Amino acid sequence: MVDGTNGSLAGRRALVTGSGHGIGAGIATALAAAGADVVVHYGQSADKAEQTRQQVAGHGVRSTILQADVTRTVEVDRLIADSVDFLGGLDILVCNAGHLVGREAVATMTDDHYASVMEVNIGATFRTVRAALPHLEKSDHGRIVTMSSLAAQNGGGNGSTIYAAAKSAVLGFTKGLAKEIAGSGTTVNALAPGFIGDTPFHDRFSPPEAQQTMIAGIPLGRAGQVSEVASAVTWLCSDGAAFVTGTTVDITGGAWFH
């Protein structure tokens, strides 16, 4: 992995969606530590996004926060336009924004719940990438990193079937897009994290006993760390990964093998 202190991404221009807290905040900060200028995107929590921006700025790079509902095309288009205006271009796009929304069984799931889960995961990824592509393809270092999940590989836990389906769609989208735009030199890769501790995701959707059960099933015997996901992103965005595209990086502690 890339050492985040060596300026390996110096001068690169990055947008990280859903970076107000949790894994997204860790990714934004790691990219900044490697020298990239970063736009911190948030959906609802401006205070947390500002905290992330301050962490990013602490690495001596340019940073700002921008709000957008990533399920709405008009707002995504504005987000990309404003990001490019601030950064002066775009080299790195990390589509981290996503959500379980809630645990619901398929038999009792409403159309609205289904649509919400699909839109905030695969829909948001598609819209953000579509708007960003003209700018990324102008870069000599274009990088797209999408966010899938272990759930895409194993179907997820109880009540997360549609979430697993949405994250599986992200994997298919990543592979297809990697081939579609390979001629531009822009790489496209996905992350599929397993149980990552100290994030709002599991605190909200998984009771403590369920969390302990999940951790007990990890061969390495512990939860993953946000920094371990962030370091994978930093590497994928570096020159060292310029020949890596269309792949999925499983960050699961051995809970899933290809």
The per-residue pLDDT for range 18-57, each reduced to its tens digit, is 999 999 999 999 999 999 999 999 999 899 999 999 999 9
Give the pLDDT of residue 2.
41
Q: Is residue 8 part of a domain?
A: no
Give the pLDDT of residue 204.
65
Q: Is residue 131 part of a domain?
A: yes
Annotate the chain with three-state secondary structure: CCCCCCCCCCCCEEEECCCCCHHHHHHHHHHHHCCCEEEEEECCCHHHHHHHHHHHHCCCCCEEEEECCCCCHHHHHHHHHHHHHHHCCCCEEEECCCCCCCCCCHHHCCHHHHHHHHHHHHHHHHHHHHHHHHHHCCCCCCEEEEECCHHHHHCCCCCCHHHHHHHHHHHHHHHHHHHHCHHHCCEEEEEEECCECCCHHHHHHCCHHHHHHHHHCCCCCCCECHHHHHHHHHHHCCHHHCCCCCCEEEECCCCCCC
Give the pLDDT of residue 207.
73
**In terms of residue numbers, what domain contains 142?**
13-249
Q: Is residue 4 part of a domain?
A: no
The per-residue pLDDT for range 165-178, each reduced to its tens digit, is 999 999 999 999 99
Q: Is residue 73 part of a domain?
A: yes
**Is the Cβ–Cβ distance between 17 and 49 less than 8 Å?**
no
Q: How far apart are CA 93 and CA 95, in angstroms?
A: 6
Give the pLDDT of residue 79.
98
Burial of 130 (0-12, 13-18, 19+ CB in 10 A): middle
Give the pLDDT of residue 119.
97
CATH label of the domain that carries residue 49: 3.40.50.720
Q: Is residue 256 part of a domain?
A: no
Give how many domains the chain has, as a whole number.
1
Q: Is residue 5 part of a domain?
A: no
Among candidate residues 42, 126, 163, 195, the one labeled active-site is: 163
Give the pLDDT of residue 133.
98
Q: How far apart are CA 129 and CA 250, in angstroms?
A: 21
Q: Is residue 243 part of a domain?
A: yes
What stretches in the chain show pLDDT beneath 70? 1-7, 201-206, 258
- 163 given a catalytic annotation: yes
